[in-house]
Structure 1
Amino acid sequence: MATSKEEREQSLSHLPRGLLGLAHGLDKADSAMAVVERWLIAGCVIGMAVASFSNVIGRNLFNYSLPFTEEIMQILQIWLTFLGISYGARVGRHIRVTALLDMVGETFRKWLLVAGQIVTCALLAWLAWLAFKYVGSLTASGRVTPSLRWPLDVLYSIVPIGLGLGAIQFFMAIMRNLLSRGAWMSWKTPEIDAESGDLSETSL
């Protein structure tokens, strides 16, 4: 069962006031990002459903296939994929190999987990930087989509944003492990809850 707010606060109760204030600030930031992500992911899913349904209706009732629906669905799929990086990190649902973790003691297990989070955070930040430069090249080229003529740099801006949000989530997981007792997969998800697959605290 996912930890309650009281249990999460209890894991931070040993901190001095300054660090406790930092932890509360990170908690508020995580909650705010969760709300934004939830609405964006829901919007992408609804948008894909509407575009697909509209194309089916047009093709079967009016014998006319809407040429831009496939383009919209591809764009929304990209947005959904890169928003999912941050969401998956928040609920501790990214695929990971635990063979080495399972062979060591509890304390060493936690620091191996943190080491993996540091590497993942750095990798996502680096990829976000590369994606940011790629979006900059799209801006310079002025490329647009074939049907709707939408600027590609605006549409693909979700790639560095999603990667950057994922890096932030892993950074927050690192901070949670440094500040709290126990091992944590994300700011609000203990490792035991991630392994059991219980997403009751963080599911859409």
Structure 2
Amino acid sequence: MPNAEAYKSKPDPGEPPHASTETGAAAEANSGKTTPGFTGILRPLGLIDRALAFFEAAILVTGILAMAIISVANVIGRFGFGQSLYFAEEATQFLVILVTFAGIGFAARHGRHIRMSAIYDELPDKARKALMIVIALVTAAIMFLLAWYSLLYVLSVYDSGRIAPVTQIPIFLTLVWLPIGFIITGIQYLLTVVANLTRKDVYLSVSVVDSYDDRETAV
């Protein structure tokens, strides 16, 4: 006796070809296809990737929640009690720096940075893979260079002894996220290079495949 799955798998005669799969394919093309991490001899790279992912997520969640709490508390204090939080503006500025430079590594890991891909999209798979390797290598080099210059800037601020006027926090402590964010982003792009060299598909990041669907959407 035929089971229910056999009837479910039969296409509806009135349904256009591929209509049931086009939405998923389009979503996959837009958001990227996630893949497993590194295995085998490259397993240590997978551990580094997961550690960075956890660190980035923890920092972003903490920073965004802290900004939300401070902002809400400041509004309640101002309109409810007639007294704003004296440290709200400075704390929010510090947290914006934290979230911004922790976020660039997170965006790189998920392939969410803006790309100028007019020429790239027209290339065949092998050429796109080669170009992606070059792009990731150059971007990683730029990130490490920016990390170096930002570290020099942080050290210069440390030597100056500048302190925030309200919270009395040393300014250099609020800027350490600049080199950290650039270093994490550079590592993410290096992992992207390794992913493209060791895997079949073209990878936008270590865990996101650059996928396309050439089938036309039925109207």
TM-score when scaled to structure 1? 0.85
1:163 paired with 2:191, answer no
Q: Which one has a bigger Cα radius of gyration?
A: 2
Q: Which runs of 4+ in 1 moved over 2 A?
A: 1-5
1:130 paired with 2:161, answer no
CA RMSD of aligned residues (A): 1.5
Separation (CA, whole Å) in 2 of partners of 1:50 and 1:106: 47
Separation (CA, whole Å) in 2 of partners of 1:3 and 1:74: 34
Partner of 1:94: 113
Q: Secondary structure at the match of 1:192?
A: coil
Deviation sequence 1:155-196 (CA, Å, 0-9, x none): 100011001110110011011111111111111111128xxx
Percent identical residues? 34
Deviation sequence 1:61-106 (CA, Å, 0-9, x none): 1111222101111110110000111000000000001111122211
How far the C-alpha of 1:36 sits from its partner, in A, is 1.2
TM-score when scaled to structure 2? 0.79
Separation (CA, whole Å) in 2 of partners of 1:117 and 1:105: 18
Partner of 2:19: none
CA contact (8 A) 2:35 2:208 kept: no
Q: Secondary structure at the match of 2:34?
A: coil
Partner of 1:3: 34
1:73 paired with 2:92, answer yes
Where does structure 2 lack aligned partners over 5 or more consecutive residues? 1-27, 213-219
Read off the aligned partner of 1:134 and give its amino acid letter: Y
1:53 paired with 2:69, answer no
The number of residue pairs the alignment matches comes to 181
1:84 paired with 2:103, answer yes
CA contact (8 A) 1:27 1:187 kept: no
Q: Secondary structure at the match of 1:168?
A: helix
